[in-house]
Structure 1
Amino acid sequence: MKLKPIKKPQEIAERFAEAWNRYDAKQIASLFFEKADFVNVTGKWWDNKEDIFKAHDFGFRVIFKNSKLEVITVKEKMLSDDVAVVHTRVRVSGQEKSETAKAGKRETMFLFVLRKSEGQWLCESAQNTDIIFGKQTNIRDDKGELKSVSYKENNEIISRDLNEG
């Protein structure tokens, strides 16, 4: 099943989720320009449509074969008549467990940069970042493991975080 063309930038969120929920890496790749960039939650960086396809195809066969992606929030910002930025908060459930970690629900923030070409919008760049509630940064411990940490004292409010209300 082919996805409908994107007529408004904010539609990228639902199109991405539709393709994800069908485990269709080809359709995900079709949302991107040939030389698009994609950075995943662990910093893996792909700089072309074919590698974006391969990465998602692997993910759907191994990591996310029983997953669902739910769009929670979408915010569109037009930078010009033919360039837009779309922030999208999503929830992923059903990720396969690894040998070392239990896979519960996760929320992430996508940042999509889209450009209009021939009457439709396609993605030039995307980045996906895990949301770690109540934390401000990551540190590497003595064993070399990366951990999210909080520097807040007594639940102080440092700044307004749209993900934490």
Structure 2
Amino acid sequence: MKAPEEVVARWQDAWNSADADALSLLFAEDAEFVNVVGLWWHDRESIRVSHEFGFTTIFPGSTITMGKPRLRMLGDAGAVVQARWHLVGQVAPDGAPAGEREGIFTFVLERRAESWITVAAQNTDVVPNTQTHINAPEGRSSIYYRSLD
């Protein structure tokens, strides 16, 4: 990548092509990736394998739309790129359509030679009208502490 913010469009293209190989090539061999439920992968191959499974089982035919990237340079050789995303087409374990989702993706990139590579990423779901999660006796849920009026 010639510019760090290119990672957002390339992620979208790889996802929408269900191309785990192309997606994994956005990452350094020793990259770190934390997904929306806290699964943590420690290298490019783990990122590839996990997304390959996702494209065939959880997200077959899904479409992600990435928002405009926000860029923060960290000197000359580092960058943080963040973008909102919107996903349609996820399926439930029984194969039924699942609802749409939104989130925020954070990529940390490093300049290596004349190009940029992702060294760490974290994907976060946006849960509307909530502030945090809570483990209650009846199970884990998203909650909002302030009054909604």
Question: Which TM-score applies when normalising by structure 2?
Answer: 0.95
Structure 1 partner of 2:9: 14
In the alignment, which of 122, 126, 146 is matched to residue 140 of structure 2?
Answer: 146
* AA at the equivalent of 1:72: G
Paired residues for 1:28-107 under 5 Å: 28-99=23-94, 103-107=98-102
Q: Do the aligned residues in 2 keep the contact of 1:69 with 1:92 (CA within 8 Å)?
A: yes
Cα offset, 1:12, TM superposition: 0.5
* AA at the equivalent of 1:152: R
Structure 2 partner of 1:115: 110
Percentage of matched positions with identical amino acids: 39
Structure 2 partner of 1:3: none
Per the alignment, in what secondary structure is the counterpart of residue 73 of structure 1?
A: coil
1:136 aligns with 2:141: no
Find the aligned partners of 1:125 and 1:10 in 2 and give their Cα distance. Answer: 14
* AA at the equivalent of 1:148: S
Question: Which TM-score applies when normalising by structure 1?
Answer: 0.86
Cα offset, 1:133, TM superposition: 1.6
Q: Which structure exhibits the higher relative contact order, with contacts defined as CA atoms closer than 8 Å and separated by 6 or more residues?
A: 2
Structure 2 partner of 1:162: none
Per the alignment, in what secondary structure is the counterpart of residue 70 of structure 1?
A: strand
* AA at the equivalent of 1:104: G
Q: Which runs of 5+ in 2 are unaligned?
A: none
Per the alignment, in what secondary structure is the counterpart of residue 139 of structure 1?
A: strand
Cα offset, 1:102, TM superposition: 5.9
Q: Do the aligned residues in 2 keep the contact of 1:83 with 1:113 (CA within 8 Å)?
A: yes
Q: Calculate the aligned-residue CA RMSD, in Å.
A: 1.6
Moved over 6 A (4+): none
Find the aligned partners of 1:47 and 1:134 in 2 and give their Cα distance. Answer: 32
* AA at the equivalent of 2:26: L
Per the alignment, in what secondary structure is the counterpart of residue 69 of structure 1?
A: strand
